[in-house]
Amino acid sequence: MWFKEKETLTEEDVQRGMKAIIKDGMASTAMATCTGGVFLTAFALALGASNSIIGLLAAIGPLVQLVQIPSIYLVEKIRNRRAIVVISSFIGRTFWLLIAAIPFIFSYQIGIKVLIFGMTMHALFVDVAGTAWGPWLRDILPQDKLGNFFSKRMIMSTVLGILLSLAAAFYIDQWKNFFPDQIMGGYSILFVFGFIAGMIGLYFLSTIPEPRMAKPEGKMNFIRMLGTPFKNENFKNLMLFSGSWTFAVNLAAPFFTVYMIKRLNMKCRLLLDSPY
């Protein structure tokens, strides 16, 4: 009953859903800020990760996106996108608790392997959720308000991300001053805060109404369905641009933090004082 769909959405349902989507976006931004970017890279480096490991961690996200192909079949079979998004996101986000526990349970050598495993499982379930998330949004949001809605959501999330990044950086810097013998614990607490933000986001996700999916015309041919979008010339051009851009960004971005710390000698005291 919790994931029950509605035949049609009222204006009140749409407005409630839009507010919940914005709140989830802010909670997801908080989670991503606390668990990703420079903090995740610094955590991996403090564990003793090599450049190859850093590259592998960066490659996990794009690599597991291949799971979105069979996930399309899952969406068409289950036909309840809210259930897929909420359950998959919940499973994926709980792996941040495992990652946060690494300094307290595992040696640094084993911890790197656990980090890779946790990141892989997190990304895997997040991409399953992402496959259902897009079409779910399409059926909720008014088509004539998409630009205004997403610009508002992006502005609010960006401002929150900037403020949280500064606060988290200040917190990490101060942690070392108060707990010089428990350096890795500072990152673990930050990851736990990210997990909590993710759970708050899940609550908002669960309140977004789910319109019933339109019934397919005739028997579903999965292979033919995958090829249908590529018949659109604009879609093919978008895929070409998106693929080139993503390749260029992901080729350099993962090593930017490593370059700043190890080559430019920027002061990241948690790392410079770590024996690893």
Q: Centre a 10 Å sphere on the Cβ of residue 5 and count the other Cβ atoms it contains.
A: 14
The answer to whether 205 and 82 are in contact (CB under 8 A) is yes
How many angstroms separate the CA atoms of 59 and 56, rounded? 5
Residue 49: inside a domain:
yes
Residue 133: inside a domain:
yes
Number of H helices and number of E strands within the chain?
Answer: 13, 0
> Terminal CA-to-CA distance of the chain, rounded, Å?
51
How many angstroms separate the CA atoms of 272 and 179, rounded? 15
Nearby residues of 22 by Cβ (< 8 Å), 6 or more positions away: 152, 153, 156
Residue 263: inside a domain:
yes
How many angstroms separate the CA atoms of 259 and 266, rounded? 9
Both tokens of 195, joined, read 């997990």
How many angstroms separate the CA atoms of 103 and 268, rounded? 19
Both tokens of 143, joined, read 């088509």
Is the pLDDT confidence value at 124 over 70?
yes
| Helix ranges, 65-101 (H) | 68-78, 81-100
User: pLDDT value at position 275?
Assistant: 35
What are the pLDDT digits (tens) for 104-117? Answer: 999 888 999 999 99
User: pLDDT value at position 241?
Assistant: 85
User: pLDDT value at position 195?
Assistant: 96
Nearby residues of 10 by Cβ (< 8 Å), 6 or more positions away: none
User: pLDDT value at position 255?
Assistant: 67
What are the pLDDT digits (tens) for 42-52? Answer: 899 888 888 78
User: pLDDT value at position 270?
Assistant: 39
Residue 217: inside a domain:
no
Please report which confidence band the pLDDT of residue 84 belongs to, taking 50, 70 and 90 as the band edges. very high
Domain that holds residue 194: 17-212+222-272
Residue 207: inside a domain:
yes
Both tokens of 28, joined, read 């997801």
Of the two residues 191 and 57, the one the predictor is more confident about is 191
User: pLDDT value at position 263?
Assistant: 58
Residue 74: inside a domain:
yes
Class of residue 49 by CB neighbours under 10 A (exposed 0-12, middle 13-18, buried 19+): buried
How many angstroms separate the CA atoms of 68 and 61, rounded? 12
User: pLDDT value at position 9?
Assistant: 86
The answer to whether 213 and 74 are in contact (CB under 8 A) is no
What are the pLDDT digits (tens) for 171-198? Answer: 988 988 888 778 888 999 999 999 999 9
Number of domains in the chain: 1
Residue 12: inside a domain:
no
The answer to whether 130 and 75 are in contact (CB under 8 A) is no
State the CATH number of the domain containing residue 127: 1.20.1250
38-60 mean pLDDT: 85
